[in-house]
Amino acid sequence: MRRKFLTPALVFIMCIGITMTAYASPQADQLQSQPQFTTNATAEELSIIKTLFSAEEYAELYPDVVKAHGNEEAALWDHFAAHGLSEGRALSKSFHVFAYRAAYEDLQEAFGNNLIAYYIHYATHGMQENRSITTVPQAVKAGITVTGLRGQVIARPVPVVITPTEETNQEETNHEETGNPVAIPETPSPEPVPVPSATVCTHQYITKQLENTRSHAPVCEICGYIDEQKQELCEAEDRYIIDTMYHIHKCKGCDRLMDAGNHQYLTNDFICSVCGYQHVHNYFILNYDDKYHIKSCTLCNFGSSEAHKFSVLTTIYSNKEHKMQCSDCDYYYLEEHTPGECKCGYRS
């Protein structure tokens, strides 16, 4: 009886069906509604996010930014804070917020589409929790598809496809149909490839923080070799690095910034109970009426109400009145001139 054989095309389709993970077609991806991500950060949040920023790596990743703004660290950070964050750009080669988001479902459940929360979590908790999938290549290697700001696929795992050649299938078919053995030619042994002589690095070490861990070790500046035998956990210095919004420790052995936190004001003297920072209010006038103005601090939201101050006479308004304006806000009123020589300088 003559045997029936699968055609090469059918074999190819079956191989794909076995080895490829199913995913939506590009057309289906484009039809999905674009997610709405939160990318607005407060000054305090930006100060924490900045601890993850690498100006050198940001410049390498985005030459268009360097061309437009230069390669100064301050200019590059200003671009990321004002534009790069909302454009979905990575702030370094070691952290991509969309890869981090895709890798951890518990964070997706907690933060949803609030991108700022993922940055803050990694800077304050993720490294300590050893959450090691922080880049697109790491996510793809772990079998994770990464989507971007508009819901588009940035990267996905590449499926393994076995493609039989027509010649191989024909040989196998002829062998099965005729029952005759098929002679398989021997593959000639490849010529030995000359091995270049090894160059031994003389290692010049500096102590650096290790990615995705809370530790540091000697790292060779020449070849990048890490002396893991001398790896140590990062230990915070006693003193704090202090800003108007937060305090943060620096590691005793490397440049890692760690344990960032908001200033804690437990009493009305506005001295941080953690680091001892003395807060100075930066007031702006929030509102006013004909008797009082309300001041609010731009740094801590503390507010107070004060009576207007008219100690400074401003301008002559007319031949009957002069203008009295509060020295702290925009409120003013009109007052009649004093007969003769008025205090404003007007003479009647």
Q: For 256-280, what is each residue's pLDDT tens digit?
A: 888 888 888 888 888 999 999 999 8
Residue 211 has pLDDT above 60, yes or no: yes
204 within 8 A of 220, measured Cβ to Cβ? yes
324 vs 32, 287, 299, 346, CA distance in Å? 61, 18, 31, 14
What pTM was estimated for this model as a whole?
A: 0.42
**In-domain check, residue 275:** no
**In-domain check, residue 177:** no
CA-based nearest residue to 82, from 92, 69, 98, 95: 69
- Domain count for the chain, please give it: 3
Q: Which domain holds residue 312?
A: 283-336
Residues 258 and 287 in one domain: no
Give me the mean pLDDT over the 172-176 stretch: 44
CA 19 – CA 26 distance, rounded (Å): 20
**In-domain check, residue 252:** yes
Residues 124 and 236 in one domain: no
Residues 242 and 295 in one domain: no
Residues 33 and 72 in one domain: yes
Residue 27 has pLDDT above 60, yes or no: no
Give me the mean pLDDT over the 74-92 stretch: 93
Residues 25 and 136 in one domain: yes
- Give the model's pLDDT for residue 21: 36
**In-domain check, residue 234:** yes
Kindly write down the DSSP assignment for every residue of 198-265, as one continuous string. PPPP---EEEEEPTTSSEEEEEETTT--B-GGG-EE--B-SS-EE-SSEEEEEBSSSS-EEEEEE--B
125-161: burial string, b at 16+ Cβ within 10 Å, e else: ebbeeebebbbbebbbeeebebbbbeeeebbeeeeee
Residues 234 and 300 in one domain: no
Q: How far is CA 140 from the centre of its chain?
A: 19
Residues 258 and 293 in one domain: no
Share of the chain above pLDDT 90, in %: 36
- Give the model's pLDDT for residue 165: 54
Q: Which two tokens stand for residue 282?
A: 């930066």
Residues 249 and 290 in one domain: no
- Give the model's pLDDT for residue 323: 85
